[in-house]
Structure 1
């Protein structure tokens, strides 16, 4: 009887852990964050992430990773395909990236910077960040820095979202700065900004970071980590707004930040995000990429998503 009970316990534990897909199994000891999901012409899901260094200091980060999957269960690590070593104008802060396909090329947009942020004496801070753009014939690289510098130097910019609309126009969204919520319309050759457009957010402009924009059934969705914590969203009939605030996608978890992307894969919508988890290392909780299925109501609004350990292992 004791053997039978023990066997049942072991079987139950094995079954539970075998179905746990959060965090995503992207690689042993990899501290991934800021996931940007895309499905390219080959039908695979590609996930572009930033990479935390173990016990990193103040988000000092040096490279990015890209992973691909045909089933969202098994992931291939294509390695550190781009890093600050590939740049002459920045040496740190390899933060939340994004990617897009246009003109027969794959484009990688990335925030990087220089200097040091002094949290004790902010007036002594020298930290600066800008957004670069790289190009490749392949979604996994190699990528080449196309302009040898940032798209602009002032104001400070990070956490880009690069959205290419059905008409081929490309729009670059960044966190609001100095009270202004703007979108940069890119030049057709993707080497510069054609114009900046200040957006009407309907009177609600909380602190935010990491915007993510996508389109579904003719409706544009502007999603974000509101106050850098909970995920919320707006909708519009234009990529430049005006936008209508619609509310919550995912509640915050403690005081930890979040960063996400939303993408359709084989007819099902997926929310990628990161969690701060203590997985038994010598460091405090570190960031790890997770994923959940996401659903819409008949009127196009998004249903609230709950974090789970099972993630994408349980079929919808």
Structure 2
């Protein structure tokens, strides 16, 4: 009887194992396609992910709104729905791409790219596509957010993929991907509704490859500038200032397929985490192509502050709650 009982327990555990470990990509309890995760931990102690929203089988990144999800264990997520839509904008009607968010002086700020026109991939000279960066504000981390200035922060250069970093002294810095205008930073005005001064070209130590989707964070007294190099391989720099000069350090995560990646890095309850998106087959979909899904992995640092290389896993951060229980 004892042997039969143990056998039954083993079978039950085997049946349950895929459910508990199959958490990468993250399960938001929703069928929508998500990408470009911007991760933040606010005053309420929850993890928030602000994402772009890929329309099902979209033809060419025609995207219309942004979503936010929250969790306390990184496994069970609440979908708070769309926090902003291009329908709420007077200056753009498409390209709701990778966003970011910040909290300052009692308000939540949402920076986002959006645009107009059409990109002609066959005849680029006929393209009319334009993109700029907007700012929205809310009293709640889940929105709804309202366009704060009714126009983009600037119209030239063409720009997208904003990253908003607020340093310990309260100064906000805006990093972005610009057409022939990468590796620049702008200081935000105190009211977060404009930039002050001119764009500042950063010293990247002589290494300036094609990039998009920058993300900046601080750990201890070191600043990290991270990005998808070549739009696919996640790499990083380190510096003693949020404006550099930066020293190139190498690869965080190799590319997967011939597809772009977009990420964010944040510490939550003592664990450093990398959020990113994957391009995966979606057999349940009406189109026979890979689509984007948000995923997560643990991030580890060496004693000198450099980042250990990260591999994609099926488990991701599904054991986050168990790790917290074992923490000293």
Asked if TM exceeds 0.5, the reply is: yes
Paired residues, number: 313
Q: Within 2, Cα distance between the matches of 1:49 and 1:164? A: 20
Match of 1:23 among 22, 25, 41: 25
- Aligned CA distance change for structure 1 residues 114 and 177 (closer, same or farther; 3 Å): closer
Residue-by-residue CA offset, 1:156-206 (whole Å, 9 max, x unaligned): 000000000000000000125425520010011111110221100000000
Instruction: Please tell me whether the aligned partners of residues 176 and 208 of structure 1 are also in contact (alpha carbons under 8 angstroms).
Output: no
1:1-316 equivalences in 2 (<5 Å): 12-178=14-180, 180-195=182-197, 196-280=199-283, 281-283=285-287, 284-315=289-320, 316=323
Residue-by-residue CA offset, 1:6-42 (whole Å, 9 max, x unaligned): 9977863541233211110113311000000000001
- Aligned CA distance change for structure 1 residues 277 and 10 (closer, same or farther; 3 Å): farther
Residue-by-residue CA offset, 1:204-244 (whole Å, 9 max, x unaligned): 00000000000001100000000000100000000001000
Q: Give the secondary-structure state (helix, strand or coil) at the position aligned to 1:159.
A: strand
Q: Within 2, Cα distance between the matches of 1:267 and 1:6? A: 37
- Aligned CA distance change for structure 1 residues 234 and 38 (closer, same or farther; 3 Å): same
Q: Within 1, Cα distance between the matches of 2:281 and 2:12? A: 23
Instruction: Please tell me whether the aligned partners of residues 182 and 197 of structure 1 are also in contact (alpha carbons under 8 angstroms).
Output: yes
The answer for unaligned runs of 5 or more in structure 1 is none
Q: Give the secondary-structure state (helix, strand or coil) at the position aligned to 1:123.
A: helix
Give, in angstroms, the shift of residue 287 of structure 1: 0.1
Q: Within 1, Cα distance between the matches of 2:173 and 2:69? A: 24
Q: Within 2, Cα distance between the matches of 1:256 and 1:180? A: 20
Task: State the TM-score, normalizing by the size of structure 2.
Answer: 0.92
Instruction: Please tell me whether the aligned partners of residues 103 and 109 of structure 2 are also in contact (alpha carbons under 8 angstroms).
Output: yes
Task: State the TM-score, normalizing by the size of structure 1.
Answer: 0.95
Q: Within 1, Cα distance between the matches of 2:255 and 2:103? A: 32
RMSD, aligned CA: 1.7
Q: Give the secondary-structure state (helix, strand or coil) at the position aligned to 2:177.
A: coil
The answer for unaligned runs of 5 or more in structure 2 is 1-6, 324-328
Q: Within 2, Cα distance between the matches of 1:130 and 1:6? A: 59
